[in-house]
A and B are shown apart, each in its own frame.
Chain A
Amino acid sequence: MKHFLTILGHEIRMLLVSASTYVAAVLFLALMGFIFAGLLETYTPTPSQATPEAPPAAVYFQLFWFPTFFIIPLLTMRCFAEERRLGTLETLFAAPVSAAEVVLGKFGAAYLLYLALWGATGGFFWLLSHYVSDPRLLDPGPLIGGYVFIAVSGLLFVAVGVWASSLTRNQGVAALLTIIPIVLIVLGPKVALENSALLQQDSMRSVHDALDYAQVFRHLDDFTRGVADARALLYYLSGASLALIFSAFSVEAKRLHS
């Protein structure tokens, strides 16, 4: 693993000089800004409407999936697809580096950038705390819980993006291959459980339980309420590890059979 830091540093640099990173950053921060502004509207007391019970941070993170769907592909689609298109992957592996180091380096860079972008949205809450004195709106618990959830779930989502990028030399295909599994992971269990009568039957109990365990929105609720469930942590960590192992296999297989 002695080349991990070299590759990580290089990948961060490459992400910082890539246009798609800035497109992702601008879109993401603009979208989150609008969401936050809309949120402030709902919390502004009006005579006709009561303010919601939940703190703003909890409501804010309920919408995490929307920016995630486009920001993850924009951050990860280049990492292997571009190298394979240019042929630089062959040069990279002519140096004494292992597939695991390369995969982890690329994953680490995309993940750090993902965290940095979410971290930037912390500025919204700082502004809120600066101008609003109502302590009810600034409960730090859901805020910290929400960011921890973003950090933990981001492991899986970025790993899926890296894996998708290792499967193709076309960035567009890599982006699509990233979005589809992430949509399935985030919305799949929720939609299935809410709409399928079949899953409510006793014979389908184990499938129901499995889907229930994989409910991303439930994990989010738990984290914003301050419950760091080890099972949820295990779900994201094992999922991310699996995706990264598959990425390493995919890179190695394509290299050996190209």
Chain B
Amino acid sequence: MVSLPDNSAAPAIEVRDLVKSYGGVTAVSRVSFAVARGEIVGFLGPNGAGKSTTMRILTGCMPATSGYAAVCGLSVAARADEVKRLLGYMPENNPLPEDMRVSEYLHYRGRLKEISRKKLGPRLDEVLELCDLKRVRHRIIGTLSKGFRQRVGIAECVLAEPPVIIMDEPTIGLDPHQILIVRDLIASLRGRMAMIISSHILPEIEMTCDRVIIINQGRLVAQGTPAQLRREVLGEARYELELAGPDTGLAALLAGVEPTLKIAAVAAPDADGFRRLTLTTANAAELGEPLLRVLASGSRRVRALTRLRPALEEVFLAATRQGWEAANAVPGNARPRPGNEPV
């Protein structure tokens, strides 16, 4: 286990006003965020948003133009060597040497990460077991399938048991079964290590991560738990109702439950006379029970009532579409304006 520096109260990752520009193009612009110890954070953004650049700055692979980045309280710029000892990093596309065996590669990386020879053997067995690589440990990496290669990359990341792990798109190009395995693997590390994971597969992020950071055009546009983001970015709650019966007095009935509750859309009735209604409200509280009670009390019949939970995709699209304008207003730690329309 890597020994932590004295200031162990410091967050696992701290980034303040980070800027990176190359050749007149600003890839990262005044980004600030923090990741607590043991927290798993999803890093979202469209291609070219600055995710990989931010991650590479955090690993010391690339210097920042300005701003402050620290890992476990140690400045990445000033104490790069010590920071590297606290990090496990899997770059984009997970580059691996093609003509080495899995166990040889992990052994070599373990030695570079300063694990003593005595500890390395048992630790290798442990990591191979954790990543389900035991049966391919003597295979040449170049002949492995993509799923196994990703797991070799993850095994390399966790080998030295660093307190912080940074993975750039660990599930890219994997089939659903392999994604599930990688997700379980990441979940098994929960609480032991802080992680930043970038991905395009949003349900993955939602299932794996405690918190999400959305970045677009180099700016941070939203951060929080998926539920918080839904509320902040999309604003209102939506319900879907399947109802049969007269329309008259329905709006007043709904206003009685919650003044902001409105009918947003009504579909044509089906063969049984049920229509599908979409209701919107600014109140985030759960309105299902009072709604059912009021609607069932008259001559109307209710077949279904669902609260619509927008996928993270909708949040992501709304945040990246509109959010950077808000980021302009409060640089660095901006929140998008509430009440954006759902996509």
Contacts and interface: CB of A to CB of B under 8 A. Distances in A.
Interface of A: 2-3, 6-7, 10, 13-14, 17-18, 86-88, 90-97, 255-258
Given A6-B108, A10-B108, A97-B112, A91 B89 contact: yes
A94 B111 contact: no
Given A91-B89, A93-B61, A96-B81, A3 B95 contact: no
- Closest 7 pairs between A and B when the two form their complex, measured CB to CB: A87-B95, A95-B112, A94-B89, A96-B84, A6-B111, A88-B95, A96-B81
Given A3-B111, A94-B87, A258-B62, 6 more contacts: A6-B111, A14-B100, A86-B95, A87-B93, A93-B61, A96-B82
B97 A96 contact: no
A94 B89 CA distance: 7
Interface string B46-71: 00000000001001111100000000
Given A90-B61, A91-B89, A256-B62, A3 B98 contact: no
B109 interface: yes
Contacts of B98: 86
Nearest to B99: A17
B85 interface: yes
B116 to A, nearest CB: 12
B91 interface: yes
B93 A88 contact: no
Contacts, number: 61
The number of chain B residues touching the other chain, given as a range, is 20 to 34
B292 interface: no
Contacts of B85: 96
Contacts of B112: 3, 6-7, 92, 95-97
Interface centre among B56, B84, B95 (most CB of A within 10 A): B95
A90 B95 contact: yes
Nearest to B97: A88
Contacts of B61: 90, 93-94, 255
A91 B91 contact: yes
A212 B49 CA distance: 58
Contacts of A13: 104
B114 interface: yes
A94 B88 CA distance: 8
Contacts of B95: 86-88, 90-91
Given A18-B99, A86-B98, A87-B93, A94 B62 contact: no
A96 B114 contact: yes
B11 to A, nearest CB: 21
A171 to B, nearest CB: 14
